[in-house]
Structure formats: structure tokens, C-alpha cells
Amino acid sequence: MKKFIAFGCLVLGILTQAQINRFFYEYKFIPDSNNREDVKSEMMYLDIDKNGSSYYSRDKFVSDSTSRAEIEKQVKSFSGNISVNRKEKPGQVSFKVTKSYPDFTTYLFRNIASDRYKIKEEQKPEWKILPDKQKIGEYNAQKATTNFGGREWIAWFSTDLLFQDGPYKFYGLPGLIVKIEDTTGSHIMTLAGNKKIAEAPASEKEPELPQNIRIVGMEGKEIEASKDQFRKAWKAYVNDPTKNMREMVMQNNENSKVMFKVKTSDGKEISDPNQVFREMEKRTKESLAKNNNPIEPDLVK
């Protein structure tokens, strides 16, 4: 009995520590369905603690943290200019997914222009567990399938890892999802390693900027929205990609002159506002055309 009590106290002590299980997933994806040879890769974090999980890009997190530190430093000694340098590895994946335990309330955080949308997921993955088994890395895994977000998915979960969670919005299997891919092979997320860390990542709170200053390219207001509301905002953005920026410039110009420049593909520098907006609209539409194979097609249809 004494041994049992001592063991019980040890387990309780471990569970009450503020510890995070960090799982590393290699995310391979094909942005352009017309160019399937162009396969991108990004290392993603799935951080799990007693309250829930968070899935996000490692490179984007590091880049954003560095940019925020630079901006906060400039804000403290503000002299009229704030410079935001482009990072070498800014991250290719900008979305983040959080889940809250025990009910697995799930939110997707995704940008449209300078606005950050917080979109609640109402659909739970409905799994069909199959008898197929195989080794994924060092883990014994079993197969399951689901239809979600406009794609058919094949998952491999392992009861060696007793977390009913997984990358992106996927959860609800009797073990951690160690690999998941859609049936077209366009999106593949594979567990590459894991470790325990003592505390949560640094806060993502935006630096407080001087009055009437807003930085193009940094996230603006956060908007909580349903999927339908997000789809409506997305369609408006696709039809007029520079609308938010034009409105921002017009508002700022009421009090001060806003100057900015861009370079065209041939290296020519332009500063005329109308030319700048035309160039930015052109670039955005070209980018959208080459990113036509999203992880969740139903969200942007």
C-alpha cells in the first residue's frame, strides 16, 4: 500500500508540472495543382499541454518573434520611422490551429491581407478505423480514414502515444496521429520527432505602436468569424486584393503623408500610389493563381 501511494503522488506531481509535449511534423504540400513537381516543405510544431494544443510553423514563429522584438525596440526609441526587414526564412505556412481540452474546441487562425481571422470549426472529424497496421518511424500505427474540409484523408495513429490529437484540425483517434495525407498526395504531415519543453512559447501579442501608426505586412486586428463570414471576406479579397491597404492609406493621409515604394519584377522602383496598388494587385493575383491547392478547399470555395 505504501508503494502504491508513493507512485500515485509521483504521477500527480508530473501531471501538475507546466510541461509541454512538442511534436515535430514535416509538412509537405503542393501549392499549385498544375505543377505537382513543385513540392514545398515546412517543419511544424504541435505543442500539447494539459489545456490543449497548438499547431503552427516553426519558421514563421521564429520570424515573427524576431520581427516583434525589432519593432518593440524601434517603438521605444521612436523617431518617425519604423523599418521592418524581410527575413530570409519568413515561413511558408501562415495558419495556426488551436484546440482546447477536454471538448476539443478548435479554432483556425488565418490571414486575409493585414487582418487575422479566428474561425471556429464546427465539424468534428468522423473516423473509420481500419484493420491495416504498419510502422511509421519508430511507432506502431493503425489506419483510419475521414472526409474533412473538402478532401479525403488517410491517417495513421499510434496508441504508443496516448494523445487523442494530431496535426492541423485532426483529432479523436485512440492515439496520436503520426501521419496523415489526403488521397491526392497534395498534403502530407508526418511525425519527425518530439521532446518535452518546460514552458510555453513566447507571447504572440503585437507590440503597442505609436498612435495612428500601422505597419503594412504585420497582422492587424483579429476578427472572430464563422466559416461563412470568412468565405465572404475571402471572396471580397480575391476580387479586390488591395482594398484594405487603400483604405488604410486614405485614413493615414488625413493626418500625415504616407510614402512607400515597391520594385517591379524587372527591378524598377515605383512610388506613385496608383502604380504601387496596381503592382501589388498584380502580384497578389499571380500568387493566388499559383496557390490553388489549399489544405481545406471548402473554406475558400
Domain ranges of the chain: 20-299
Q: pLDDT class for 40, splitting at 50, 70, 90?
A: very high
Q: Mean pLDDT in the chain?
A: 81
As a whole number of Å, the end-to-end CA separation of the chain is: 61
* pLDDT on residue 236: 93
Q: pLDDT class for 1, splitting at 50, 70, 90?
A: very low
Share of the chain above pLDDT 90, in %: 56
Distance CA 85, CA 37 (A): 31
* pLDDT on residue 19: 87
CA atoms within 13 A on the CB side of 269: 2
Distance CA 220, CA 70 (A): 17
DSSP E strands: which ranges in the chain? 20-29, 40-49, 52-57, 96-100, 105-112, 115-121, 128-136, 139-148, 151-158, 176-182, 187-197, 222-225, 262-263, 269-270
Do residues 299 and 149 touch, judged by C-beta distance below 8 A? Answer: yes
Q: Which of 95, 116, 93, 119 is nearest to 106 (CA)?
A: 119
Q: Give 38's contacts (C-beta < 8 A, 6+ positions apart).
A: 30, 31, 32
Higher pLDDT, 190 or 94: 190
Handedness of CA 250, 60, 155, 52 (dihedral sign): negative
- Overall size of the chain counted in residues: 301
Q: Which of 251, 275, 253 is nearest to 263 (CA)?
A: 275
Buried b (16+ CB within 10 A) or exposed e, 68-81: beebeebeeeeeee
Of 33-42, 57-66, 88-97, 253-262, highest mean pLDDT: 33-42
- Does position 88 have pLDDT exceeding 60, yes or no? no
- Does position 199 have pLDDT exceeding 50, yes or no? yes
* pLDDT on residue 189: 98
Q: Which of 194, 201, 144, 188 is nearest to 26 (CA)?
A: 188
- Tens digits of residue pLDDT in 105-154: 999 999 998 889 999 999 999 999 999 999 999 999 999 999 999 999 99
* pLDDT on residue 270: 64
Distance CA 202, CA 222 (A): 19
- Does position 63 have pLDDT exceeding 80, yes or no? no
292-295 long-range Cβ contacts below 8 angstroms, 24+ apart = 292/31, 292/32, 292/33, 292/34, 293/29, 293/30, 293/31, 293/32, 293/33, 293/186, 295/29, 295/149, 295/151, 295/168, 295/187
E strand or H helix at 248: helix 243-253
- 65: exposed, middle or buried (C-beta count within 10 Å: 0-12, 13-18, 19+)? middle
* pLDDT on residue 107: 98
E strand or H helix at 238: helix 227-239
DSSP assignments along 12-42, one per residue: HHHHHS--EEEEEEEEEE-S-TT-TT--EEE
